[in-house]
Structure 1
C-alpha cells in the first residue's frame, strides 16, 4: 500500500514542492535549452519524475512504473485515437480534391476583401480545422491559404496565430477539456462549461484584433460590423455548445454559426475595400456548383449531425446512455487497490475507462467511413477531378498514423509523466505550496496553462501537466476547482503561438526559412496581451464580481 503525502521530502512542504517541480523544469530544459525533440524531452522528463517519485516521494518502484503505463495507455486511448480519426476525416477532403473547393467557397464569400477573408478563413474555417485536426495542422493550412489570397508571410502568420486562440480549448473534438476532466475527476461537461464561459470572451475580441493586424485602425473602422458579428456568433456558439449542447462539438457549432451568419450578412453589407486590401484571387471567375459546395462541406456537416444524434438523442432509445453502457472499467493491474488516500480508500485514477464505442474517436471513424463511401460514389461521375476509392481512403488512415507517430509518442509520454507526478504525490505537493499565494492564485492560474502550451505546443499536454495541480490548489485556497481547471485550459490556448513547434510549423507554411525568431518578436505582444486579459477574467470570476459565471 502507498499513500501519497505532500511533505514527503524531509517533512517540508517547500522542499517537497521544489523537488516535485524538477520533472517540469527538466522538460523545459530538455526542450528549450538542449533542443531535444518533443518526444525525447517528454520521455527524459518521465525518467526524472520516476526518480523523484521513487527516491524522494518514497513511491514503490513497481507502482511508479505501473502509473506510467496507465498514463501511456490513457494517452494512446482515447486521446491519440480521437486525434487520429479527426485528422483522417480532414485528410479525406484533401486526398479527394474537395479541399480546393473549400478554399474557393471562402474566397467567394469574402467579396474580395482580404480583411473579411482573413476573419472567415482564419477564424471560422481555421476553427473548423482545429475542431477536427488540431495539433498544428490548422496553423499550417490556414497560413498557406492566407498567403494564397495575397497576405504577406508575416501578416498571414499573425492572423493565423491570433485567430487560432479561440478554438484551441475545444480542439480535436474537445480533447484538452476531456483530458483536464479525466485527470481531475471533474466531469468533462463541467470543465467544458467553465472553459466556455472564459474562451468565449476571447472569441468576442479576436476578430477586432484580426482587423487591426490586417489594416490598422482603418481596418477596424471599415470592418467592425463584420468583426462584431463574428465575435458574437463565434463566442455565443462556444458558450451555448459547451454549456447546453455537446462540448465535443463546441468549435464545430461556433464555426458553422459564425460562418453562416457572416455569409448572410455579406448579402446586405459590403465593406469599403481599399485597393491594397483587395484579394489577389478573383473567385468571381470560378464557378462552383451547389453539388461541389455541398460535397466540400459534407464531412463537417456529417460530424455535426452524427455527434448531435449520439450526444442528444433520447426519444425512444437513449443513444448516449446506450453507448455509455458499453464502456469497460478496468482496474489497472497491480495498481488499483495499492494506491490509497489518507482515508484508506482506493484512488479513483487507477481505474481505466475503455470506452471503445462511446469515445468520439469511434464516432469519427464511422463519419470517415461514410465520407469515403460518399466521396467514392461521387468520384465515378467526376471524370477523375475528384479521385477517391475505399483503398485510397483507408490508405489515408494508415498515412495519418505514420504522419503523427512522433506526436502520438509525445502525447503518450506526457500523459505517463502526468500520471507518475499525480499518483506519487508530486502534483499535490506543488499545489499545496502554491496555495500559499492565497486568493491571488486565480490571477496566476491561466499563466500555468500558458506555460504548459508554450513548452509542449499542445493545450492537451498543458492540461495533462497542470490540471490536477490547479484542482488541488483550488481546494487549498477555497475556490472552485472547476474554475481553475477551466482557467488552465483558457490560458493554454494563448501559449500556442509562442511554442517552438508552432513557430516552426508556421514559418515552414509561409516559406520563411529560419523565421521563427522574427515571428516570435511580432507574436509575443498578442499572446501576452490576451493572457493578461484572461488572467483578469479568471481572477474576477473567483470574486463576487463575476462569481456568478462559475459552474456548479
Structure 2
C-alpha cells in the first residue's frame, strides 16, 4: 500500500493547511519559551501532537506516522545521541584525572579574560570541530570546556550555540553544500562560492556580537582589537577557501587561522581590565597572579585527549575513509579495503517497515526510508576511540574508565530522550508533507521571495536540526521557485544554506545537546529563551544580505 503526500489537505487551501502544519512548531515554542517545560516533556508532547496533526489533518496512515517517528528516534540515538555521550565522557575523563585543571591553567596563561576565552574556545575551536565532525560535537565539547573554565553553564551553552552560527554551512567537511548541489543539480563549487560571499559578513560580526551579549558595549570596545583579529581572520579565510578551494575545508582552515592568529595576538596585546561575570571579580591585568605553573610537557599531556580527538574526527571526515568506515569503499588501497570489510560488517541499513518507498512525495517518486546504523562510521565512535586512547594517556584504570562511562550514561538518560523525541517529531513532519506545505507557502511571496528565501532554510534547520537536511528538504523548492519569479536559482539555493545556519541555535536537537553537555538537563526552556531572539536577529541580517544581492548587489553572484 502506498500513500501520496497532500500539501493542501485542509479545504484545498495552502494557507489554511500551513496554519495547521504550524501547530506542532508553535506548541514547541510555547512549551519551551512560555511554559518552560523540561526538554524531554516538551519533546514527547510535541511528538504526540505532531502525530495527531499528521494523521487527522494531513491524512497519513497512523502506522506510517508511527514508523516515521521510530526512524527519527533511532537517528536521534545514532549518530546524534552517541556523539553527546562520547563527548561528555571524554570531557569527564579529563576532569576525573585532574587533567582539566592543567587545561584550564593553560587557557588562563593566554588570557584570564572571559570575553577572550569565549573567542578562543566557543568561536575558533568550536568552528574547527564543526568543520571536522558537526552533528552536535562542536557545541558539546566547547561548552563543556567553557564550564570547566568557570563559565556559568547556561551562558556557556548559549555562547557556544551562538558562536556555532558562523561555521554551520560548511560543517562536517562541507556536507551541507555538497548535498545541496546533489539535490538541485547545481555545481557545488558555485554554491560554495556564493555562500562564501554571504556568510563572511555574519562571521566577522559574530565575535563582536558574542562579546557584546556577554559584557555590553563599553566592555566590548575594550577588546575590539582581539575581536577584529578573531573575526576578520576567520571571515577572510572563509571567503578565500570557499571561493578558490571548495566547500570541504572553509571551516577547518578558517578556525585554525582564527585560533592561531588570536592566540599569537594575545601574547603581545592585553586588555586594560580582566572581565569576569558578576559572580566573579574584575581586576586589572597587573594584579593577576598565576597560581599554578605547569611544564610544557604537562600542558601537552593534558590537551592530548582533545588533540587525539581532533585527529580521529579529522580522519573520520576524509571522504575515502568515510566510505570505508561505512563499507562503501571501492578503491585499490589495501588498508582502506581492510577497513571497508570491518565497516561493512558494522553497518546496518534495514528498511523501515510500512514506509520504505511507500510514501510518494511532491514529484510522485517514492521516498526511501531506512534505519541508518553506521556503528563504525559514526563520529561518536571516533570520539569513543579517542577516549580509549585517553585511558592510556591519563593512566586511569579500566574499572574507573568504565565507571565514568556508566556515570555519563546515567546523567544523559533524559537528554537522550529529548533528542530522540525531537528528531522523531522532525521525521513525522517531513513524512506527512507538513514541512513541504510550509515551504510552498513561503514560496508564494513572489517578488519578496529573495527576502523570505533564507527563512525556508531557517525553518528547515529548526525542524531537522541539520543544515544538510534543510538543504535536502527545501533545496529543489528554492530552485524551482526562484526560476518562476526570475530570481537567480543559485542565490536561492545558497540562501537556504546561509539562512539555515541561524536556525541551528534554536533547533530542539541543538538545545538538547547543549544542555546535556553542560549538565542542564531539564533547563532547555531557559536556553531556548536565551537563543531565540539572537536567532531571529541574525536571520534578519541574512535576509537583508540576500535581498540586496538579488536586487542591488547582483555583481556578487558568481
TM-score category, normalised to shorter length? 0.7 to 0.9
Offset at residue 369 of structure 1 (A): 1.1
Relative distance call for 1:225 and 1:7 in structure 2 (3 A) is: same
1:415 paired to 2:423:
yes
1:52-131 map, 5 Å? 52-110=53-111, 116-117=116-117, 119-124=119-124
Aligned counterpart, 2:381:
362
Match of 1:489 among 488, 495, 500: 500
Alpha-carbon distance in structure 1 between the residues aligned to 2:95 and 2:506 = 28
Relative distance call for 1:520 and 1:538 in structure 2 (3 A) is: same
Alpha-carbon distance in structure 1 between the residues aligned to 2:125 and 2:362 = 49
Moved more, 6-15 or 116-125: 116-125
- Asked whether the 8 Å contact 2:442–2:456 carries over to 1, the reply is no
Alpha-carbon distance in structure 1 between the residues aligned to 2:443 and 2:365 = 25
Offset at residue 108 of structure 1 (A): 0.9
Match of 1:532 among 522, 526, 540: 540
Offset at residue 45 of structure 1 (A): 2.0
Relative distance call for 1:532 and 1:11 in structure 2 (3 A) is: closer
- Asked whether the 8 Å contact 2:127–2:138 carries over to 1, the reply is no
Offset at residue 530 of structure 1 (A): 3.5
Aligned counterpart, 1:382:
none
Aligned counterpart, 1:293:
299
Relative distance call for 1:57 and 1:449 in structure 2 (3 A) is: same
Aligned counterpart, 1:384:
none
| 1:488-512: CA deviation from partner (whole Å, max 9, x where unpaired) | 4311245589x99899999999xxx
Alpha-carbon distance in structure 1 between the residues aligned to 2:54 and 2:457 = 23
- Asked whether the 8 Å contact 1:143–1:157 carries over to 2, the reply is no
Aligned counterpart, 2:355:
335
Relative distance call for 1:15 and 1:528 in structure 2 (3 A) is: closer
| 1:59-99: CA deviation from partner (whole Å, max 9, x where unpaired) | 22211211111111122222212222222222222222111
- Across the aligned residues of Structure 1 and Structure 2, the Cα RMSD in angstroms comes to 4.8
Offset at residue 483 of structure 1 (A): 2.3
Relative distance call for 1:265 and 1:164 in structure 2 (3 A) is: same
Q: Which secondary structure state, in structure 1, belongs to the residue aligned with residue 372 of structure 2?
A: strand
- Asked whether the 8 Å contact 2:356–2:367 carries over to 1, the reply is yes
- Asked whether the 8 Å contact 1:84–1:401 carries over to 2, the reply is yes
Aligned counterpart, 2:272:
273
- Asked whether the 8 Å contact 1:16–1:429 carries over to 2, the reply is yes
- In the alignment, structure 2 segments of 5+ residues that lack a partner are 275-281, 321-330, 483-488
- Asked whether the 8 Å contact 1:78–1:361 carries over to 2, the reply is yes
Alpha-carbon distance in structure 2 between the residues aligned to 1:286 and 1:118 = 21
- Asked whether the 8 Å contact 1:70–1:419 carries over to 2, the reply is yes
- Asked whether the 8 Å contact 2:127–2:167 carries over to 1, the reply is no
| 1:158-199: CA deviation from partner (whole Å, max 9, x where unpaired) | 79845652325768x958997999899859x96995877655
- Asked whether the 8 Å contact 1:180–1:485 carries over to 2, the reply is no
- Asked whether the 8 Å contact 1:226–1:262 carries over to 2, the reply is yes
Q: Which secondary structure state, in structure 2, belongs to the residue aligned with residue 258 of structure 1?
A: helix
Relative distance call for 1:164 and 1:76 in structure 2 (3 A) is: closer
Alpha-carbon distance in structure 2 between the residues aligned to 1:459 and 1:319 = 39
Match of 1:403 among 411, 419, 424: 411
Offset at residue 410 of structure 1 (A): 1.6
Relative distance call for 1:19 and 1:113 in structure 2 (3 A) is: closer
Question: What TM-score, normalized to structure 2?
Answer: 0.74
- Asked whether the 8 Å contact 1:186–1:482 carries over to 2, the reply is no
Alpha-carbon distance in structure 1 between the residues aligned to 2:501 and 2:352 = 31
Alpha-carbon distance in structure 1 between the residues aligned to 2:84 and 2:242 = 19
- Asked whether the 8 Å contact 1:166–1:202 carries over to 2, the reply is no
Aligned counterpart, 1:317:
333
Relative distance call for 1:65 and 1:255 in structure 2 (3 A) is: same
Offset at residue 347 of structure 1 (A): 0.9
Q: Which secondary structure state, in structure 2, belongs to the residue aligned with residue 352 of structure 1?
A: coil
Alpha-carbon distance in structure 1 between the residues aligned to 2:176 and 2:48 = 22
- Asked whether the 8 Å contact 1:435–1:476 carries over to 2, the reply is no
Relative distance call for 1:468 and 1:323 in structure 2 (3 A) is: same
Question: What TM-score, normalized to structure 1?
Answer: 0.75
Aligned counterpart, 2:29:
28
Q: What is the count of residue pairs matched by the alignment? A: 515
Alpha-carbon distance in structure 1 between the residues aligned to 2:43 and 2:259 = 38
1:420-431 map, 5 Å? 420-431=428-439
Offset at residue 320 of structure 1 (A): 7.4
| 1:341-380: CA deviation from partner (whole Å, max 9, x where unpaired) | 46653213x133332222212222212211112221xxxx
Q: Which secondary structure state, in structure 2, belongs to the residue aligned with residue 14 of structure 1?
A: helix
Alpha-carbon distance in structure 2 between the residues aligned to 1:468 and 1:332 = 20
Alpha-carbon distance in structure 2 between the residues aligned to 1:320 and 1:536 = 46
- Asked whether the 8 Å contact 1:23–1:49 carries over to 2, the reply is yes
Aligned counterpart, 1:383:
none
Offset at residue 403 of structure 1 (A): 1.9
